[in-house]
Every structure is written in C-alpha cells, then in structure tokens.
Chain A
Amino acid sequence: MRRGGRRPTGRGPAPPTPWWSSPVPIVAVVAAVAVAVTVFLIRGYLQPSTPPPTPAPSAESAVVQTITTLDVGRTEAVGAGGVKSPLQKVRATPLVGPLGKPEVLYIGAEYCPFCAAQRWSLAVALSRFGTLSGVALTTSSSSDVYPDTPTLTFAHSTFSSDALEFASVEETDRDRNPLQTPTADQERIFEQLNSKRSIPFIDFGNRYVTVGAAFQPDVLQGMSWQQIADQLAGNPQGPAASKILGVANWMTAGICQQLAGPPTAVCGGPEISQLRSQI
C-alpha cells in the first residue's frame, strides 16, 4: 500500500497560455487609441485655420452698390418669391431708436449660415427706405452647415433714413470670436421675444419679428457675391434672387406696417400691398 504522495494523473504539463488570451490585445487597443488621439491633437494644434475668401475692395463696393440700389418695381414684382411669411406678430411697446424713429433691430453672427441668407434680404429691404453703408462682404463659417455661404456683414454698417433707424449686432466673427455685444435693452428684447435665443433675430419695431432664416442657405452655395448681386439685379426670378427678394418683400411689408406714414413708392405697390394685407 502506497503511503503519502499523489496519485499520478497520467496527464502531461498544462499547455502554455495563448498570446491572444493575454492582456496584449486589450493593451494594444488602448495604446492605439491613445496614439491616435495624440496625433489628432497635434494635428489640430499645428494646422492653421482656413482663411476666408476675401473679395477685392472694388468688387466689394460693386456688389454693395448693386444690392442697395435695386429697382423697387422690378424686385417687388417677385412678390413672396414662393416663401412663406417669416414675420411673427408681437405685442410690445413700439421700438424706437435714439433719433426717435421706428427701429429695426438685427442680432446675428458672422459664422451663422442662416444669418448669411437672411442678411441679403434685410439689406435689400432697408435700402428701400434709406441708405445702407459700411456693409462688407464675408462668408459664414467653413466648419458649419452650408459652409462658406457668401454673405454680407453688418458689423460696421450705418443706416440713414428719414423714416427708420437700424441697429445691428454681429455677436461673433466667422470663427466664433466675440465681435459685438448687444446693449442691455437689446438683450432684453432678445430674451423677451426670442426665448430660444436663435439667430438671426430681426425685430421690426416690436410689431413683427423674424427668427431664423426664411429660406435655406443652400440656394447660395457655390455662388459668388457678384453672381448673387447680378442675379438680384438682372434676373429677380432666379433661384437665389427669388428667395432673397421674396423675403425682402415680406420684410418691406413689415417695415411699412411699422411706419406711421409709409412711403407710397415703396409700400403702395400691388405686391407689397398684398403682402401687407396678409401679415
């Protein structure tokens, strides 16, 4: 009888643990992710921002000149341009500017592609009531939806009119760097009439507001500023022009409603009158 010791099992030594069951695969995945993230960070840090396309000064003034002197009769004939009214009626104390005239307030940002669309219409509408100056050309952000949409900027604009005042705030530039800050009163209006703080926001004398863009910026994609201006002047029924002018006509109707004595040359036309009756 055997004493002590272990009964032999008859089996060989345990096979080595395969490499794929070791921590190697997991460590490899973690290491690969760490390397990838590091490379991305370095690339992002070293890569310069895409510079915006800049128009030549002569081209810029030509574009601005064109869009601010469009023939009212010809552009009014577009009517609504197939665009639903963007005007929302509001009830608040009439908004007047520093000179005591009814005021149009715009709040947006240069990066914003929807502001990019809406500014064309607002510039056309305002130009029917006075002289808009200091408007420059730019594009919306390169990294947002509808990238690099050609547009204007009101950052340094001025407006002179017998009937109306215009205040503009471009909160950031196209790279989202802070640019202009609303005054306390403008901020209050913005909060009161636009609880979601969406931009672009346009207040027509506290009688009507528009929030967001009335048409999608995709109609402007691939066009240059000059092409847009040329279409507005020469082909008002064109795909981009009809949208811009349709919204401009709605805005014109809103401005007309805000004025005590709206100018007949602008507000008395058949299409504008029709739109005024609908808002």
Chain B
Amino acid sequence: MFARFTAGAFTGAAAIVLLLAVPVTGAEAPALPGMVIVPAGIYRPLFRGEKDPKEISVPSFALETVPVTNVDFLEFVRARPQWRRSQVKRLFADPGYLQHWTGDLDFGSPENGARPVVFISWFAAKAYAAWKGARLPTTAEWEYVANVGFTSVEGAKDVDFRHAVAKWYGTPAPDVLPQVGAGRANLFGVHDLHGLVWEWTSDFNSTFVTGDARGDTGVDRQLFCAAGSLGNGDPTNYPAFMRFGFRSSLKAAYTVHNLGFRCAKDL
C-alpha cells in the first residue's frame, strides 16, 4: 500500500504526487505514540563491498519522531533497576554511563527532561527499546530516513536541508543540548536526525564487514584516508561519511556525551 521511494534517484511529477498521497504524518494510526510510519523505500549504502547489493530495500516501518529523552529513560530505569547508573554491569556500559544525571533516578534540572538522553550504551538503548516493545532502527532504516530532506525525498537536492545538515559539523558542541523536537521535521515528519545528537543503530558496527573483498583485517580501514572514498556511493556526502566514521569508532558499551537513540518498530 505504500509507494516505494529511493533516496538516491527519485524523479518525475507522478512520483511526487504519489508521495503526497502517502499518509505520512498520522492519517493512519501510528504503531506507537510518538511514531510515524515511514513508507517503504530503497537505501543506497555509502559503503559496500564488491558483492554487496547497490540497494537495500527498506520495508515500511514505524520510527519515533524525536530521540528518547531523559524523562523517557527515567521511566525505564525505574522499571528496570539493573539499568540504573549504580547497578549497570560494566560489561554493558562504560563508566561514563548516564554521567550527566545527578543520581540513579534523577536527571537534574527539570529542563533536562525534554533533552535527549545521552551517555547511553548500545546495550542500554537496546534494552530500553525492548522494554517499549520496539527495537533500534537498522543503519539502513536510519540512513534512509536521514537522507530525506525538508521538501524533497531526496535530501541531496534540497539546498536548505543540505545546509542545515552541514551546519552542525561546523559549530562547536553546545554546553547544554537543545530539547528534542526543536529541529525542523523532514518530509516524513521526523525531527532531529541531524543537528542534535548522534544516534545508535542496531547494526552500528556491521557496516564494513559485509564485504569479504578486503579480508577480515580490513574491517575499518576503508574509513581511513583516501581508501574511504573507494567503493562508496557518493564521495561528496561528507555528513554521511562522518556518521559512518562515528558509528565505526564505537563499541557497544561506549557512552558519549552527544550519542543518543530513538526506537523503531515493525509494522
């Protein structure tokens, strides 16, 4: 029932009409509160091995419109004590876990409530999503939606969108994060994929290991120097390079001051 979209090549007036006909922002009941239904589409990976497909089909799924907040996460740690700061296993979260909170069940000033939760490990994010009856988005899902612009499904052709995305990388990290939802929504009604925090994906560290052409020792090497521009879809998509670079610098127990997450759900 959903039209198929590609983030890479999308042309023609007829297709745009189709897009506008898609109930993107709530004409249909969302799978969960706070989520929108993302129409099925195609993601063209930035990096791929020789034997990997050029395109990955992304079935329609539900995605939270904003990242998970401190308020949301407090609810979770109340219900699941093993994920409280003092009780989490070191195996699942490094010592920085929730370090911006003032206590196990206290995220500090009330304004922090609507800010994205950060200093979160992949394990914790995954556990939160499961508790919600949801899951983390895959990298393909996340990137597919992140490449959708404000006014065009092809963000690369949306000048305002491109500038907004690039701006984040040219400005210093703020002392205090903005609250979620402040960023302009993309065409699918999703906020803050750019310009707020990095976000975990379910397969954050699998991007470079699907091709066997470079052998097992080449896991990360593609990201370095000029090798980083070999075999990728669009060598001028610097923000995407940076996202892939960031993800592959992570390990699942890591926590970072500007790394949060949002949930997705199958339909």
Partners in one complex: no
* Chain A interface residues toward B at CB < 8 A: none
